[in-house]
Structure 1
């Protein structure tokens, strides 16, 4: 593309030159210069060429005169660039003191002051000297004010001063001038300062910036929605906030879990149960299944619905755990024992051991219940488990099955 551009330029120049020559060939004009008795006469084209040559000569003389003075500035620029590189290497190697010294020296060159002092502030933060970091950011702010503001907000958050970090970024956020890192810091500062609504408002520009990958952004988004829902003080405000959230946010399992738990705490158990069951029909999530097992709403109805899901998910340990927990709440100890032993045979977890201990305690099997409670503690710590006969028998039944039964979404058996 550049070659065609130059060809076009040269063609235009040639056309202009030909046109000018055609005009001047008939009458080249006459230029007469008289000074102190000297008289010079020439044509207009020759005068123009002579003027250009004189200007080029004067430019060459000026560059020649400046060259000795430029040697020092070029040397200073080269040394500053070397010090900036040495400082970055020292920072990567963990030599934070050396990095800070080299970067302070590199900042003597005005063009490098911004990046050098920003990196020096990072070195001071890693060295555990926030005071020096603030001083470095004061200098960096003269050349790179937005970047210095973002780094300072991060430093204030690390000092447990999220309110100051939020105030520092708010003015730029209101004018929509924050860079992507600033929006990210604003979200985190707002969360830590207890203002999830401000964090939610900052998510849209952060997403548009494309600074975070989809997985990291989804995790941050879920965290913001969780904080917002948990902050609601009454059921009306909770329902209003939930209904006004975009559909994409209301389908995040973490958000659904936060809404369901908070609604249950505020006395809207049936609405929470409906939302949870709808979410499970849409997305079979272990997190939501776990919540279903501990939700304090109509255990008989929950047991009936959860049992209907067994046809499609017969070997889901989280579903079996949820069934066991609901059966324990209902005092149906033997039913709970069967579900929980099966869940543990498919995958050990501290919650399942604890629930099985409750079921065995209800069956007056105190010693086995104590072993289950020990296993709950050991499982959470990665320790050695005590043998419990119910789980051993369930595991043996599983091993005796040649092929585990698999069913489709409609509960129909699948051919292996």
Structure 2
């Protein structure tokens, strides 16, 4: 209140002072333009100027206030679209997670039309359409995603590749992934998808070429990478002969098989399963002497019971030498049941019957396996020991048929009386 009183006093004093100035000297202003002149006092001119400024300010305020509702309405509409888009996107993603594909596609598709970033909505809606089996709608939604966000070609392409792979459209999927590899050569997910497509196409040569990149980029876990390597080179071994014409001679087959074997990486050259398959393929083309040599060298490098067992099933070029080689292993592996079984078999090939029987009995004493029991029983029968062979089988019935249930059995005397 005090400030207002002081302000009024200042205004009155200023007014009195200005009024005094107007009485003493009204001033003179002349404005001439072409043939028109305007004459007035300085104070009148000042009043006109002040009134003109106030009028212009008033008109500007009216114009601004008239435009404000349009801007306010536009802002309200934008906020509403944003809120509606968020709400529908949330509902669509929840429906997608719950497996409600129809609702998910509808909500996400509607939200995309209002969204500032429609890419996510279109991609998720395409997945929902795919889950319903609506291929046409899925493809249309993916195309809308491309148009809405051209710079997201990799993201759209990956989603499309996933859908194509799930549909079984392997060739289009492969073309799509090869295009993506050029756009994003270091994308590990593209590599994994490419690996899956090649596996479905049975293109093991392509996977073999991709393996170094998968290993370098760590796109696949170590355990899965090792399994993939084994599977790849196992199939390369198998297919090496399958792709040859029927009339191909064994020498040519042998050459092709060796080429496939030489392609094995160093870390797989000692894999028992691969060695076994290589040996089996060598035997299939009548190359048992080569198989015996390979197997002998592998066992010398790394002892493996399975491969030692296989060594006794192969007919080498020199049977006596083969037996002697195996007998040399007994010093370091005296308790190996597979080695003793192999020695028994090689002794049979060299027609040393008593020695074979001794090896079979030693092997069976260490490990009562069906395989050794069968060999021992067969040899006894051929040696004329039929009763002994029968008793052996009777005493080891559990070995022949294991996992028999515990059941009551009649006594021998009762069985005879019956």
Written as runs of structure 1 = structure 2, the 5 A alignment for 1:154-233 is: 156=168, 165=170, 168-169=173-174, 172-173=177-178, 176=181, 179-191=190-202, 195-233=203-241
User: How far apart are 1:291 and its partner, in Å?
Assistant: 2.4
Aligned to 2:161: 149
Displacement after TM superposition at 1:84 (Å): 2.9
Distance change (3 Å), C-alpha of 1:245 and 1:103: same
Instruction: Report if aligned partners of 2:177, 2:190 keep a CA contact under 8 Å in 1.
Output: no
Post-superposition Cα deviations, 1:367-412, rounded to whole Å, max 9, x if no partner, equal 2576599767625xx4479xxxxxxxxxxxxxxxxxxxxxxxxxxx
Paired residue secondary structure (2:227):
helix
| TM-score of the superposed pair, with normalisation by structure 1 | 0.59
What is the alpha-carbon root mean square deviation over aligned residues?
4.0
Partner of 2:91: 79
> What is residue 54 of structure 1 aligned with on the other side?
none
2:95–2:101 CA contact under 8 A, matched in 1:
no
Q: CA deviation at 1:190?
A: 3.7
Q: CA 1:236–1:179 in structure 2 vs 1: closer, same or farther (change >3 Å)?
A: same
Q: 1:270 to 1:383 in 2, by over 3 A?
A: same
CA distance in 2, matches of 1:232, 1:244: 11
The equivalent of 2:296 in structure 1 is: 277
Where do 1:277-356 residues align within 5 Å?
Answer: 277-298=296-317, 299-356=319-376
How many equivalent pairs are there?
Answer: 302
State the distance in 2 between where 1:62 and 1:340 align.
95
Helix, strand or coil for the counterpart of 2:316? coil
Contact 1:325 1:336 in 2 (8 A): yes
- CA deviation after TM superposition for structure 1 residue 237, in Å: 1.4
Q: Is residue 107–residue 117 contact of structure 1 (8 Å, CA) maintained in 2?
A: no
Q: Does 1:237 align with 2:256?
A: yes
In the TM superposition, residue 308 of structure 1 has moved relative to its aligned partner by 1.4
Question: Larger Cα Rg: Structure 1 or Structure 2?
Answer: 2
Q: How big is the shift at 1:226?
A: 1.9
Correspondence 1:104-119 to 2 at 5 A: 104-105=105-106, 107-108=108-109, 109-110=111-112, 111-115=120-124, 117-118=126-127
Residues 1:68 and 2:87 are matched in the alignment? no
Instruction: Show CA shifts across 1:251-281 (max 9, x none).
Output: 3333222222222332333333232222222
Q: 2:292, 2:315 within 8 Å by CA — same for their partners in 1?
A: no
- The answer on whether the counterparts of 1:263 and 1:269 sit within 8 Å (CA) in structure 2 is yes
Aligned equivalent of 1:409: none
User: Shift of residue 235 of structure 1?
Assistant: 0.8
In structure 1, the gaps of 5 or more residues are: 1-36, 40-57, 88-98, 125-131, 157-163, 386-416
In 2, distance between residues paired with 1:217 and 1:275?
Answer: 26
Q: How far apart are 1:220 and its partner, in Å? A: 2.1
Counterpart CA distance in 2 for 1:313 and 1:278 is 17
Question: 1:288 deviation in Å?
Answer: 2.1
Distance across 1 between alignment mates of 2:295 and 2:255:
18
3-state SS in 2 of match to 1:296: coil
Residue aligning to 1:249: 268
The separation in 2 between residues aligned to 1:188 and 1:81, in whole angstroms, is 32
The answer (yes or no) to whether the contact 1:289–1:319 under 8 Å persists in 2 is yes
**Which runs of 5 or more structure 2 residues have no equivalent in the other structure?**
1-51, 55-69, 113-119, 146-155, 183-188, 242-252, 407-418
Tell me: higher relative CO, structure 1 or 2? Use CA pairs within 8 A at least 6 residues apart: 1
Mapped to 1, the partners of 2:77 and 2:166 lie a distance apart of 49
Structure 2 match to 1:17 = none
Distance 1:290 1:243, change over 3 A: same
TM-score scaled by length of structure 2? 0.59
Whole-angstrom CA distance in 2 between matches of 1:335 and 1:85: 70
Q: Structure 1 232/316 Cα, relative in aligned 2: closer, same or farther at 3 Å?
A: same
* Aligned 8 A contact 1:354 1:376 in 2: no
C-alpha displacement at 1:170, in angstroms?
Answer: 5.4
Measured in 2, the distance between the counterparts of 1:168 and 1:321 equals 52
What CA distance in whole angstroms lies between the structure 2 residues aligned with 1:294 and 1:168?
46
Q: C-alpha distance in 2, partners of 1:373/1:173?
A: 61
